[in-house]
A and B are shown apart, each in its own frame.
Chain A
């Protein structure tokens, strides 16, 4: 199965810009389906970006993050060709991990 995580990491000299897009329903647990039943909460709680063995950016998310979440940030120190590792876990215990090369 293809990864749920799409990442683009681009280096601009010393600064690496990272954009990630994740496929996830991010259900709030407050919305009803057409039969009037509540759709249980299902959302990513933590998303981590690791470079060189250290967390450079950690996101803690609640249900108010949009469906198929997007996030962008930048960090210093990495160079072209370095790998970053991205992983998430959700409130149901599911998780996914991928790596991306900095371009």
Chain B
């Protein structure tokens, strides 16, 4: 746990501003703000992918919670005949999008994929996910430092974790 606190704290710092730096006792970070940011952005969020619940995964990844928004459009099938390959996509009309993540609420590990959106990249992504059973699919969009979500239930007829 101790090894991962650093990068996670760093990410939170960036999101919430330098004011938290002193509080967390990482006072040396502001001097290396630019490299620290690059490092945090490059790092694979190992801990977030280990979280079992949706809320814990969002917290581990972003350090805050999301509010539902109709500006996040989540496209997924009503019924997935093969839970091993569920095509899902997200688009949003929000500005300043920095990241888009997909979570499957009742998978063994909730976080499925997280995408970092650079400046100049359109905030839309399509991919294919595994879903263990009928459950909620959640898309999170990080825009201008805030989190927005969209949720859709996908009925899975054959689970995606049986191989």
Contact = CB atoms under 8 A, between A and B. Distances in A.
A41 to B, nearest CB: 10
Contacts of B120: 56, 75-77
B84 A62 contact: no
A37 interface: no
B126 interface: yes
The A interface, classified by DSSP as helix, strand, loop or mixed, is strand
Contacts of A15: 122
Contacts of A66: 84-86, 127-130, 160
Contacts of B45: 60
B64 interface: no
B121 A60 contact: no
B101 to A, nearest CB: 9
Contacts of A2: none
A30 interface: yes
In this complex, the member of A30, A58, A64 whose beta carbon has the largest number of chain B beta carbons within 10 angstroms is A64
Contact of B44 (A60, A73, A76, A77): A60
B15 interface: no
Nearest to A75: B121
A39 B161 CA distance: 12
Interface string B86-115: 100100000000000000100111011111
A62 B121 contact: no
B124 interface: yes
In this complex, the member of B117, B124, B160, B163 whose beta carbon has the largest number of chain A beta carbons within 10 angstroms is B163
27 contacts: A15-B122, A28-B108, A30-B161, A31-B161, A46-B44, A56-B118, A57-B116, A57-B117, A57-B121, A58-B115, A59-B114, A61-B114, A62-B112, A63-B109, A63-B130, A64-B107, A65-B113, A65-B128, A66-B128, A66-B160, A69-B127, A70-B128, A72-B125, A72-B127, A73-B121, A73-B126, A77-B120
Interface of A: 15, 26, 28, 30-32, 39, 45-46, 54-67, 69-77
Q: Which 5 A-B pairs have the closest CB atoms?
A: A64-B112, A66-B128, A62-B49, A75-B121, A58-B116
